Amino acid sequence: MAINLQKGQRENINAPKFTIGLGWDTNNTSTGGAFDLDASLFLLGENKKLVSDNHFIFYNNLESPDKAVIHSGDNLTGDGDGDDEQIKIDLTKIDSAIKEITVVVTIHEAESRKQNFGQVRNSFIRIVNTETNEEILKYELDEDFSIETAVEFGRIYNRNGDWKFEAVGAGQREGLDKFVSMYQ
Ligand SMILES: [Ca+2]
Ligand SMILES: [Ca+2]
C-alpha cells in the first residue's frame, strides 16, 4: 500500500533501485496549450550544489555520468496512462560524491501558457520500487499545489551510508531556471 507522506516526514528507502514516476492527463479543454510537465533531478555534493553541470538530470540531459540515474525522456503532452515521465535511480551505482538528490516537478512555459498544477488533471509524482513495482509514496499535485507551477517533491539523502527520503512538498510559483540558479 502506498504511503501518503506528510511534509517533512522521513522514510527509509529500502529499495536500491527505484523509479520516480510523473503522470498527468492531456489538456482536454478547448483553451490553452498542451500541459508539459517536467521531472528533473539535481545531484548534489556535500556543499548542496550540483557536483557538475552534467549532474542536473532533465529533458536535455537524460543520464548521469555514472549511469546511476536515467531519465525516460521528455513527454510534451501527458498522453497515455500511468507514468508519463520516469527517472530510474540505481543507488548501487551512484558516485560517492553525490550526497543528496533533489526531485523537482515543473510546468514548462507555465507563465506564457498561463498554467498551474490546479488545471492539470490527475497529476501525481510517486516513487516506485523498480524491481517489485511496489509504490513507496505518492503526491497528488493538482490537489495539493493548485496555484503553483513548481514543486520540490523531496530529497533523497545519504546519512551514514543509508539512503533516506524526506518529503519536502514545497510548491512555488517559479520555473525550472530558479532551481538551476539555486543549485549551480
Ligand atoms: Ca515534459
Ligand atoms: Ca498521462
The verdict on residue 179 lying in a domain is no
Q: How far is the CA of 107 from the centre of ligand 2 (A)?
A: 14
Structure confidence by residue, pLDDT tens digits, 73-126: 999 999 999 999 999 999 999 999 999 999 999 999 999 999 999 899 999 999
The verdict on residue 54 lying in a domain is yes
Q: Which three cell numbers stand for residue 151?
A: 514543486
Residue 50 belongs to a domain with what CATH number? 2.60.60.30
The verdict on residue 65 lying in a domain is yes
Q: How far is the CA of 161 from the centre of ligand 1 (A)?
A: 33
The verdict on residue 121 lying in a domain is yes
The verdict on residue 33 lying in a domain is yes
The verdict on residue 92 lying in a domain is yes
Residue 60 to residue 21: CA distance in whole angstroms: 18
Q: What is the DSSP letter of 132?
A: T
Unique residue bearing C-alpha cell 520500487: 129
Q: Structurally, how many domains does the chain consist of?
A: 1
Structure confidence by residue, pLDDT tens digits, 76-88: 999 999 999 999 9
Q: Which amino acid is at 108?
A: H
Structure confidence by residue, pLDDT tens digits, 22-46: 999 999 887 778 999 999 999 999 9
- pTM (predicted TM-score): 0.92
Q: How far is the CA of 117 from the centre of ligand 1 (A)?
A: 14
Q: How far is the CA of 124 from the centre of ligand 2 (A)?
A: 10
Q: Which domain holds residue 156?
A: 23-134+151-171
Whether 3 contacts 153, CB under 8 Å: no
Q: How far is the CA of 37 from the centre of ligand 1 (A)?
A: 4
